[in-house]
Amino acid sequence: MRERIAKLDCARGMAILGILLMNITAFALPKAAYLNPAYNGAPSAADAWTWAIMDGFAQVKFLTLFAILFGAGLQMLLARGNRWIASRLGWLMVFGIIHAIFFWDGDILLDYGLVGLICLGVVRQADSSRALISTGAVLYMVGVLVLVLFQVMMASQTPGRYWLPGIAEQIYEHYWLTVGGAEAWQNRLDLLEGSLIAMASQYGWQLAGAMLVGAGLMRSGWLSGTWSEAHYRKMALLLIPLGLLVNVPSIILQWQLGWEYRWCAFLLQIPRDISAPFQVLGYVALLYGCWSRLSGLRLTRWVGNVGRMALTNYLLQTLLCTLIFNQMAQFMAYGRFELLALVPVIWLVNLLVSTLWLHFFQQGPFEWMWRQLTRLTAGPHAS
C-alpha cells in the first residue's frame, strides 16, 4: 500500500465534513431550499443569515474541494495502470447508482466516476502540471459560461418546482421521501435522469475542470504539501479574501432581490462558482501553512481519519440523515438555522467511527470493498 500523505488526508476529511454543511439542507428540506431560502415565502432572519454565511463559506466550496482532491487522486493512481483505475471508477459508478436510487437523490459518486473516466485520459496524456491546470481552468469556465446561456434562455420563464414549489408539490415530496418504497425509487430514478442531463450540459464541465486542476496541483507537488509553509500562508491570505470578494456582492444582491428567480436562479449563482476554486484552495493553503502547529493535535488526526475513510463517511452521512429525516419523519420539521445544530453531532459520529475503525483496520469498510471489487475486475495482477 502506498505511503499516505497526512496533509492530504486531512484536507479530504475537511471536504467530507464541510459538504455536510450544505447537504443537511438537501436531506431535511425540499430540493428548492438548497439554493433558494425563500422557496416557501420570506425566510426568518435566522434562516436568511444562515443561508448567507453558508453561501459565503461553504456552498459549492467543499464540493469543489472534493473534486480537486479527487483529481489529485487520479494523478496519484496513474502508476496502477488504466485498467485498474477504470475498474475502480466503474465500481464507484455502481455505488453511485445504488446510492442515488435507493438511498438519496443527491448522490455525487456516479458523477465523479463518469467524469473521472473522461479526465483520466487527459491526466495521463498531459505533459506538464501547467497544462493540466490551464486545461482545467478552461473547462471550468465553460461550465460557468453555460450558466450565462441558461440565464439568457430560461430566466424569463415561470419558476419551476426546483426553485418555487407549490404546496401540493411540497406535500408530495414529503410523502414519497418519508414513505419510501417503490414510489421513492421511481422519483429518485427520475431525478437521477435530470441530474445526468444537468451534468452533461453544465455541471460536468466544472467538475472536470476542478479534477484536472487538482491533478495538476498534485503533479506540481503543491497539493502534496512540498512547498514551504510561508508560501501556503501567503496563498491563504490571498485566495480566501479573493474568493469572498467575488462572492459576497452576489449574496447581498440575492438577499436584496428576495431571491427572485429571474436574477438569482442563474446569473447570481455565477460569482459563487467563480470564487469557489480560489477560496477552497485558500482553505487548503491555510491548513498546510499551519501544519507544523496543527499536525500534533488529536483533532487533526481524527479529521485525517475521516479523509482516509472518505467513501464510508460520505455514505454514513446519508445513512444517518435519511434515518433522521425520512425514517423518523423529521423532514421539513426544522429551518436552516436549527439544522446547523445537528451538523456537529453527525461530524462527531464521523470522527469517532473513523478513528475507532482505523484503530483495528487499515481501511474503511467501503474502501476495503471497493478495493476488493477493483481487484476482481481489473485482473489478478492488480495491486
Per-residue pLDDT of 168-201, as tens digits, reads 999 999 999 999 999 999 999 999 999 999 999 9
Q: Comparing C-alpha atoms, which of 72, 103, 116 is closest to residue 314? A: 103
Residue with grid cell 433558494, as numbered in its chain: 36
Q: How many distinct structural domains can be found in the chain? A: 1
Low-confidence ranges of the chain (pLDDT < 70): 1-3, 380-383
Is residue 71 situated within a structural domain?
yes
Structural domain harbouring 187: 6-378
**How is residue 93 written as a grid cell?**
459508478
pLDDT at 2: 55
Q: Comparing C-alpha atoms, which of 22, 26, 35, 98 is closest to residue 66? A: 22
Is residue 1 situated within a structural domain?
no
Output the pTM of the full model: 0.96
Is residue 251 situated within a structural domain?
yes
Phi/psi for 265 (5° steps) reads -70, -30
Contacts of 243 (CB under 8 A, 6+ apart): 61, 275, 276, 278, 279, 280, 282
Phi/psi for 109 (5° steps) reads -65, -40
Q: How many CA atoms lie within 13 A of 30 on its CB side?
A: 22
Is residue 151 situated within a structural domain?
yes
* Cα→Cα distances 70→226, 239, 370, Å: 19, 21, 15
**Rounded Cα–Cα distance for residues 301 and 327 (Å):** 33
Is residue 123 situated within a structural domain?
yes
Is residue 383 situated within a structural domain?
no
Task: Please count the other Cβ atoms lying within 10 Å of the Cβ belonging to residue 148.
Answer: 12
pLDDT at 13: 98
CA angle 75, 10, 219 (to 5 degrees): 20
pLDDT at 4: 83
Is residue 215 situated within a structural domain?
yes
- What is the full DSSP assignment across 107-125? --HHHHHHHHHHHHHHHHH
